[in-house]
């Protein structure tokens, strides 16, 4: 694999997953703080109260990022640090991100900043959260102060991370905060997230006259039918509609997919939450497109489910999440995006794998993670040879962290975190990634 000098190598994290300091600097709870307290929702009732204590250890963490030699670091801002109460701006919360972004820049690392990585302030949730259309304005108020205070020291903005997870896992499947199971709510929540995305893009460009690149990150998973039966093909089409097209179509074509609107209408009573001009807003032109890729879907028809189709068993090798390792399908996905949706520069804003890592004698031999990342980077390199214009790759994650409903049970980091002592240890994958970045792709054998 080979990458040119301009290619951006990075690592990624998000606020709730690493920061801790849940009651410091004026922060109030988010929906995740509350969700973690609901019995049975999060593995062993883990929460983000301390997490990786990054809020206090960010200087040390920046030194680790620097030692990796990466070009960029992707992190997210915790909205409840910025607006702890409705309409109340908290400059102390902003100070943390100003210090973080400035220190990164001093070390030559480009900050790529996500505004919404799922930690909705609890005050907003109490007023209906994303289901309430007012959430669009709340988000814009929040985005505005972030742009005012940080545009200029941030290298790129990402409005939303994975509205599929925030919307469908949160309001439809109930496995993420706020834990609701109502499709009618979920499509409204998604719609308001997407409108807030489009309006934030317009604000940065028109009101701020800023040239900082801005985009959105979607998690996409190409879906395949278990067999070529008509039923399985239908199941795959519907699952693709639920996971991918419900987001890609509005963002790039300014429409929701009609087949899915019809399917959803069993649960969605009316679409009149879509106001005049909304679809044009959602399709506001961005500067890049962010993709988080982990795995493919393999589905089979089940009479009980029309679009949340049944995951089929596959004989693919899997990560500790049980997710198929599927780099070829990643290539299919990118080729399809180029053919059907967009020529925008693409950034892989997340890719990585969880494994059951063991720390022994100060080392973690995570060859399986190296293999995973190696295969996917090879795919990126191949895709660029085909002219697919992928401009960067952010490995998820910089360090082990709070993996949402799996708590601290699943480790995605290339840096191992001992949650008792907060000691960080570079895994073999971190040492390997450092070499890849340094050599712009040439893989050296690792004498681990």
Chain residues in the site for ligand PNW (CB under 6 A): 14, 17, 161-162, 165, 219, 292, 294, 350, 396, 403, 412
For 361-407, give the DSSP string.
Answer: TTB---HHHHHHHHHHHHHHHHHHHTT--EEEEEEE-SB----GGGG
Residue 313 assigned as binding residue: no
For residues 13 and 436, what is the distance between their CA atoms, to the nearest angstrom?
A: 20
Q: Is 19 a catalytic residue?
A: no
Q: Is 350 a catalytic residue?
A: yes
By beta-carbon proximity to ligand PNW, the closer residue of 1 and 312 is 312
Residue 17 assigned as binding residue: yes
By beta-carbon proximity to ligand PNW, the closer residue of 52 and 165 is 165
- Shortest spacing between CB 334 and ligand PNW, in angstroms: 17
| CB-CB contact of 264 with 241 (8 Å) | no
CB-based closest residue to ligand PNW: 219
- Shortest spacing between CB 397 and ligand PNW, in angstroms: 7
Residue 209 assigned as binding residue: no
For residues 393 and 381, what is the distance between their CA atoms, to the nearest angstrom?
A: 11
Residue 137 assigned as binding residue: no
Q: Residues 58, 59, 62, 66: what is their CA dihedral angle, to the nearest 10 degrees?
A: -170
- Shortest spacing between CB 363 and ligand PNW, in angstroms: 24
For residues 34 and 81, what is the distance between their CA atoms, to the nearest angstrom?
A: 16
Residue 116 assigned as binding residue: no
For residues 212 and 70, what is the distance between their CA atoms, to the nearest angstrom?
A: 20
By beta-carbon proximity to ligand PNW, the closer residue of 3 and 433 is 433
- Shortest spacing between CB 12 and ligand PNW, in angstroms: 8
For residues 96 and 302, what is the distance between their CA atoms, to the nearest angstrom?
A: 49
Strand partners, 305: 302
By beta-carbon proximity to ligand PNW, the closer residue of 89 and 406 is 406
Write down the catalytic residue from 19, 162, 185, 329: 162
Which 3 state secondary structure label does DSSP give 303? coil
**Which residues participate in the annotated binding site for substrate?**
17, 117, 161, 294, 396, 403-404
Residue positions annotated with a catalytic role: 162, 350
């Amino acid at each position: 694999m080979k990458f040119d000098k301009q290619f951006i190598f990075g690592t990624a994290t998000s606020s709730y997953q690493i920061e801790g300091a849940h009651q410091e600097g004026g922060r109030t709870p988010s929906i995740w703080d509350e969700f973690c307290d609901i019995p049975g929702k999060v593995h062993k009732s883990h929460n983000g109260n301390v997490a990786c204590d990054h809020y206090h250890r960010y200087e040390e963490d920046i030194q680790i990022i620097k030692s990796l030699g990466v070009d960029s670091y992707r992190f997210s801002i915790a909205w409840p640090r910025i607006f702890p109460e409705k309409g109340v701006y908290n400059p102390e919360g902003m100070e943390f991100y100003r210090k973080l972004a400035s220190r990164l820049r001093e070390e030559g690392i480009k900050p790529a900043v996500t505004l919404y990585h799922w930690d909705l302030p609890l005050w907003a949730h109490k007023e209906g959260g994303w289901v309430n259309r007012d959430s669009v304005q709340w988000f814009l108020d929040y985005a505005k102060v972030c742009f005012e205070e940080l545009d200029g020291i941030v290298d790129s903005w990402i409005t939303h991370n994975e509205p599929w997870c925030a919307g469908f896992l949160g309001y439809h499947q109930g496995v993420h905060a706020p834990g609701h199971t109502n499709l009618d709510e979920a499509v409204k929540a998604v719609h308001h997230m997407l409108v807030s995305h489009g309006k934030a893009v317009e604000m940065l460009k028109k009101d701020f006259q800023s040239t900082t690149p801005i985009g959105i990150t979607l998690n996409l998973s190409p879906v395949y039918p278990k067999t070529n039966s008509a039923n399985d093909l239908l199941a795959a089409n519907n699952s693709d509609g639920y996971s991918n097209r419900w987001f890609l179509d509005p963002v790039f074509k300014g429409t929701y997919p009609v087949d899915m609107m019809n399917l959803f209408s069993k649960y969605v009573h009316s679409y009149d939450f879509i106001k005049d001009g909304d679809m044009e807003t959602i399709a506001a032109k961005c500067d890049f497109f962010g993709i988080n890729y982990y795995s493919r879907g393999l589905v089979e028809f089940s009479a009980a489910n029309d679009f949340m189709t049944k995951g089929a068993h596959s004989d693919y090798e899997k990560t500790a999440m049980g997710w198929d390792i599927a780099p070829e399908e990643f290539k299919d996905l990118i080729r399809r995006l180029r053919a059907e949706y967009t020529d925008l520069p693409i950034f892989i804003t997340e890719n990585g794998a969880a494994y059951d890592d063991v720390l022994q004698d100060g080392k973690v031999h995570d060859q399986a993670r190296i293999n995973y990342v190696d295969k996917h980077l090879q795919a990126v390199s191949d895709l660029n040879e085909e002219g697919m214009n992928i401009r960067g790759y952010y490995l998820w994650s910089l360090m082990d962290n709070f993996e949402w409903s799996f708590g601290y049970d699943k480790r995605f980091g290339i840096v191992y975190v001992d949650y008792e002592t907060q000691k960080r240890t570079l895994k073999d994958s971190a040492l390997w990634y450092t070499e890849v970045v340094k050599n712009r792709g040439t893989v050296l054998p690792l004498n681990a």
